[in-house]
Structure 1
Amino acid sequence: MSSLRHAENKSLWVVRELGLPAIVKTCVDCGHTRHHATGKVRVNANGKQLDVWLLIGCERCDRTSKIPVHERVHVSALNHARLVRFEDNDAAIVRELVHAQRKLDWTGTWELETDLPFYDIDNAAELEVFVRFELPVPIRLEKLLTRGFGLSRPVLKRLVDAGRITLPTKVDARVRGDFSFQSRGPNNQAPGPFGSSEK
């Protein structure tokens, strides 16, 4: 846990990575749509031309498929160090190639680590929360906050509407990168519509 925990009314939440997202692609054998990276990249040379594919496996029937990374590219056009990483099935390269896919299913890929099970939002002073993402998973902000504070959706909405929680975007928007927000106790609310604190 970070030394930022509760230091000067500050807290750190971290969206931890549990695994790579599934790639959404219809399997030609069974029709299932969830595939996982096998951890391997295939490089095929034809003279000075190279083909590079990311290998993925169907979650249901284990059929292996290929996703093109480079097709008929001249060997001189690829950075040598990057080519070596392809050939070595470098885990960071595999992760990068998976995250670059257009259609991903992020189910089961993350968890939220906070220091707030004992945080009493009804009686606490102002708190600034920093949210850090280990992976660019798109999460509905409402889901992140209900999980982080242990609140129901109706209670969260009331707190946001009352200015007790101040957000950088709409509560039903999706976030996927680092941000911060503020939470205030009942005597530390945001200014109301006429510039005075709501009682």
Structure 2
Amino acid sequence: MCNILRVRWTISPQTAPQPWIACSTCGSFKPFRSSGKVRLNANGRKLDAWLIYKCMDCGKTWNRTLFERRNLRDLDPDTLEALQHSHPEWVRVQEFDLDGLKRKAKRIDEPPDAIISKERMSETSGWTVLEIEMVTELSVNLRLDRLLAAELAISRSRLQTLHERGSLRAYPGHNGFLRNRAKDGTRIILDLSDASDRHAIGSAATNPERS
């Protein structure tokens, strides 16, 4: 008999990263928020693209370069259409491009708000081991220990104790994985065979979507 309760958590961050940029109107560095709009400039067969941000205090715009002098034939039709119409799904990927933002700003605020959607992947009544698969396509500012504590309704100190006892593991992982961000593809393995509240933890792990 299988003794593993398998669940999948899909983590969807809600607020995009906010770079701090020198605002000429405010006269100091201020956080900027994406407007969700793309600006394009065509010069013959070459195209420039920017994502428009706005100062969160005064509304002044900042054009974040996405690319410059890109040949139109190098853009696939779907990307070109997304640029022309500021498709929300495509823009959202750009908004969460931390590597790109770090090339433009030294400070980036990453709000930790996210929606966690939970799906039971296996059905078993006599489970003793909980396996959680993390799915996230975008960068999310959530430490694993805080995420697990909040979503399983157990303390971070207990998580640390379980880890020290070898009852909490991560794949891929290392000794300090609880302090890392939740990443796509991470699997958390919790051996709860000795836990009196095992069923309560399992119920929390499989509860439907919550923020």
Question: Which TM-score band (shorter chain)?
Answer: 0.7 to 0.9
One of 101, 108, 115 as aligned partner of 1:111: 115
Aligned to 1:16, what secondary structure does the other structure show? strand
| 1:132-143 equivalent positions in 2, closer than 5 A | 132-143=135-146
The one of 8, 11, 31 aligned to 2:7? 11
Which of 175, 179, 189 aligns to 2:182? It is 175
Q: What TM-score comes out, normalization by structure 2 length?
A: 0.69
Instruction: Give the 4+ runs in structure 1 shifted more than 6 A.
Output: none
- Structure 2 gaps, min length 5: 103-107, 121-126, 196-211
- Residue 51 (structure 1) shift: 1.9
Identity %: 24
Q: Paired residue for 1:83?
A: 80
* Length-normalised TM-score, structure 1: 0.73
Distance 2:95 2:12 in 1: 17
Partners of 1:115 and 1:88 in 2: how far apart?
33
Give the number of the structure whose alpha-carbon radius of gyration is greater. 1
Aligned to 2:89: 92
Q: How many residues align?
A: 175
Contact preservation (8 Å) 1:57, 1:65? yes
Structure 1: give runs of 5+ residues left out of the alignment.
Answer: 1-6, 117-123, 189-199
Cα 1:114–1:51, aligned 2, differ >3 Å: closer, same or farther?
Answer: closer
> How far 1:163 sits from its partner (Å)?
1.8
Higher relative contact order (CA 8 A, sep 6+): 2
What is the SS of the residue equivalent to 1:83? helix
Tell me if the contact between 2:37 and 2:52 (Cα under 8 Å) persists in the aligned partners: yes
1:193 corresponds to which residue? none
Q: Which amino acid aligns with 1:20?
A: A
Report if the CA contact (8 A) 1:32-1:60 is conserved: no
Higher helix share: 2
The answer on 1:27 being equivalent to 2:26 is: no
Match of 1:50 in 2: 47
RMSD: 2.8
Choose which of 192, 203, 210 in structure 2 pairs with 1:185: 192
- The secondary structure found in structure 2 opposite 1:171 is helix
Contact 1:32 1:58 in 2 (8 A): no
Name the amino acid aligned to 2:114: W
2:9–2:135 contact (8 Å) kept in structure 1? yes
Q: 1:150 to 1:27 in 2, by over 3 A?
A: farther
